[in-house]
A = this chain, B = another copy of it.
């Protein structure tokens, strides 16, 4: 049972999520053994299926009838999941740079090359699957969104080591790289339910604000999370010189000596620099500042769908938004 939203269970959409898993595997199936092996390997990148969940919940909330969702919803949900997984695979390539540096054996090279190509294969299948729909509408929305995601990733990469990064640019980056795909998931879910423009807009705004809050919390966990709970290595933003909201706030408001100390830790090569930077940030008011910004976005997300007809699904969407700032992993 999916428990993405904490205590909430999502029984209503379980069968649809199972269909996404099936379609995902079917679309990626290959008669080439080594390609099939890589496709199987993709499973390790799969997570909570947040984006498919939002396609289905938006589809149900927009419809507000007990009529079941159709194949279009399942296809769109599978497409957004594939796009998401493709970005994870390519992120992984970029992150592997460190490991690669320590010793580029032929295995490492094969691995890295295969990962670039695997990401390409996933994105190709995402578009291919999307083009199986009757209308070009979804393909256009997905293409526009992936343009935006790529621009976000490029902007983030471009600003690595930029200690003067502004909040404005940070918000632009997280909108593009994270929130835009979540927004599109909600919009397309509603669109596939033949929703009117206002409903599509409301659910899209909900998705955008949830996505922004989600990324801010992700960035907070990278500083203050428990490695065991989060399940991935932490401190990576510090390590890679990617400023996130608490750091931007800290560099604008902390005592000048503390600001200087953070920059020197960010620029340092010392093995304990990440821990030291975390120790500096965790007790600072900048963490609360960032958490408050996330909370504001959650409140905004909830307000965005307040005018939709009252329903159990709308309630679940609101709970999910609240859970974003409560999560510890």
Q: Give the B-binding residues of A (Cβ under 8 A).
A: 30, 32, 34-35, 38, 90, 93-94, 97, 100-101, 104, 106, 109-110, 112-114, 116-121, 123-125, 127-136, 139-140, 142-144, 146-147, 149-151, 153-155, 157-158, 160-161
Whether B32 lies near A113 (C-beta < 8 A) is no
**Within the complex, which residue of B35, B93, B154 is in contact with A35, where a contact is CB–CB below 8 Å?**
B154
How far does the alpha carbon of A60 sit from the alpha carbon of B160 in the complex, in Å? 49
User: Using Cβ atoms and an 8 Å threshold, which residues of chain B touch A150?
Assistant: 117, 120-121, 124
Nearest chain B CB to A236's CB is how many angstroms away? 14
User: Using Cβ atoms and an 8 Å threshold, which residues of chain B touch A30?
Assistant: 151
**Within the complex, which residue of B94, B131, B154 is in contact with A32, where a contact is CB–CB below 8 Å?**
B154
User: Using Cβ atoms and an 8 Å threshold, which residues of chain B touch A143?
Assistant: 124-125, 127-131
User: Using Cβ atoms and an 8 Å threshold, which residues of chain B touch A160?
Assistant: 110
User: Using Cβ atoms and an 8 Å threshold, which residues of chain B touch A146?
Assistant: 120, 124, 127-128
How far does the alpha carbon of A160 sit from the alpha carbon of B160 in the complex, in Å? 34
User: Using Cβ atoms and an 8 Å threshold, which residues of chain B touch A114?
Assistant: 154, 157-158
How far does the alpha carbon of A112 sit from the alpha carbon of B112 in the complex, in Å? 12
12 CB contacts below 8 A, A to B, read: A32-B154, A34-B158, A90-B117, A97-B104, A97-B109, A100-B104, A110-B157, A119-B120, A120-B150, A127-B139, A131-B143, A134-B136
How far does the alpha carbon of A132 sit from the alpha carbon of B117 in the complex, in Å? 26
